[in-house]
Amino acid sequence: MNARRWTAGLLAAVAAVALAGCTSKGQEKACTTTTDGIIECAPDQRSAPPKLAGELLTGGTYDVNQARGQVVVVNFWGSWCAPCRAEADDLEATYQATKASGVMFLGINVQDQRDKAKAFEEGRVTYPSLFDPSSRLALDLDIPPNTVPATVVLDREGRTAAVIRAAVKQEGLQPIVERIAAEKPAPN
């Protein structure tokens, strides 16, 4: 088995473990995985909201709980990551196309130096990024630092609705974000 297949298999296994919280007992198939490796969970099968808070790359602090009621697209990236550079324009375009429907984007910069990360973002993206050089937030969300870029879509209740463990393109990401944004909120 070549290294690419082995890596793809490993990533699929890690993704399955990461979303194991989406599955409840008695459910045959709570989450689905597409041929592109995108994992989506039905609203009634999503895990509890993750804790994502920390220092912003540009200063100050941010807690994703501030965005409750909005869909939040969380993208893990590094300035040293070629696929991250390749997807930056698509992430920004998707953000611009969906923000009016209650969608916010949050970057999480991992394993990086602040000055390099700030230079990477300048002129590329307009949404905020947390600075997480130790990759603690990535690990807390079961995103191994060596699987960057990775994108997680949180529903309006802050629960993990989709995980993409590869670089994204607008034509693939935007329909997922729009579908999750269109979901009706759960009754209280």
**Pick from 166, 142, 162: nearest CA to 153:** 162
pLDDT band at 35 (very low <50, low <70, confident <90, very high): confident
pLDDT > 90? residue 16: no
* Token code pair at residue 93: 């375009």
Cα dihedral 114, 73, 174, 81 sign: positive
DSSP for residue 166: S
Element at 54 (helix H, strand E): strand 53-55
Is 50 exceeded by the pLDDT of residue 178? yes
Angle, helices 114-121/82-98, rounded to nearest 10 degrees: 50
The reply to whether 187 falls in a domain is no
pLDDT of residue 111: 92
* pLDDT tens-place string over residues 124-172: 999 999 999 999 998 888 887 778 999 999 999 999 999 999 999 999 9
- Residue 81's CB is within 10 A of a number of other CB atoms, namely 18
- pLDDT tens-digit readout, 84-124: 999 999 999 999 999 999 999 999 999 999 999 999 999 89
Q: How far is residue 116 from each of residues 12, 48, 61, 170, measured CA to CA in Å?
A: 30, 33, 19, 25
Distance (Å, whole) CA 114 – CA 120: 10
Closest CA to 80 of 127, 117, 134: 117
Q: Residue 75: inside a domain, yes or no?
A: yes
pLDDT(76) > 70: yes
Number of structural domains (the chain) is 1
In a domain, 186, yes or no: no
Domain assignment present for 120: yes
Tracing tokens 């079961």 back to the chain, one arrives at 142
Residue with tokens 């699987």: 147
In a domain, 188, yes or no: no
User: Considering the entire predicted model, what is its pTM?
Assistant: 0.82
CB count within 10 Å of CB 113 equals 14
How far is the C-alpha of 92 from the C-alpha of 124, rounded, in Å? 7
Q: Once rounded to an integer, what is the mean pLDDT over residues 13-21?
A: 40
Q: Is residue 87 part of a domain?
A: yes
Asked if residues 173 and 151 have their Cβ atoms less than 8 Å apart, the reply is yes
Q: Which residue has the higher pLDDT, 60 or 185?
A: 60
**Cα 15 from Cα 11, distance rounded (Å):** 6
pLDDT at residue 28 greater than cutoff 70: no
- pLDDT exceeds cutoff 80 at 186: no
> Residues of the chain with pLDDT > 90: what percent?
68
Q: Which CATH number belongs to the domain containing residue 74 in this structure?
A: 3.40.30.10
Distance CA 32, CA 21 (A): 13
Domain span including residue 131: 3-181
